[in-house]
Amino acid sequence: MKSAMFGALVGAGLVVFAVRGPSLSGEAWAQRSGPQEASQSGDLIAISSPAGEQGQSAQQITIIDPKTRVMAVYHVMATDGKIELKAVRKFDWDLQIEEFNATSPLPREVRSQMTPNFHQR
């Protein structure tokens, strides 16, 4: 069932890419399948945006499975339609990181300003 839905989303992304063509404007767009509560039932989310490497025009398709917290990134080459899997990642642990490549004020600095200091009397 999931592989069929995955295939349908990739196919839909390819159809949209073929109809719309590569966008050079730099704008990104997303489409969510099903009703608003779809992510609660475990439906996949597909996001398409322009991409390219080494002078090649491509469309990037990101597929997110909110139920398993996994994302996959594909590039679809505009010239020949070749699909390349760029990355797959389970992001459970990523969402638990409090600070990474952050700048001031860091989350802990903000938290310390918001928490009353009971030791000063």
Run of H or E including 8? helix 2-20
Which helix (H) or strand (E) segment holds residue 79: the answer is none
Peptide bond into 35 cis (omega under 30): no
Residue 82, token pair as written in the block? 């070749």
| CA pair distance 56, 75, nearest whole angstrom | 11
- Across 37-41, average pLDDT: 38
pLDDT for 119 beyond 70: no
Dihedral sign for Cα atoms in the order 36, 39, 41, 44: positive
The pLDDT value recorded for residue 36 is 33
Mean pLDDT of 25-43: 45
Which residue bears the tokens 């990037």?
60
pLDDT over 90 for what percent of the chain? 36
Structure confidence at residue 11 (pLDDT): 57
Indicate the domain borders of the chain. 2-96
The mean pLDDT of 51-75, rounded to a whole number, is 90
Q: Is the pLDDT of residue 15 over 50?
A: no
pLDDT value of position 106? 85
Reported as a pLDDT band with limits 50, 70 and 90, residue 100 is confident
Of all residues in the chain, what percent carry a pLDDT higher than 70?
57
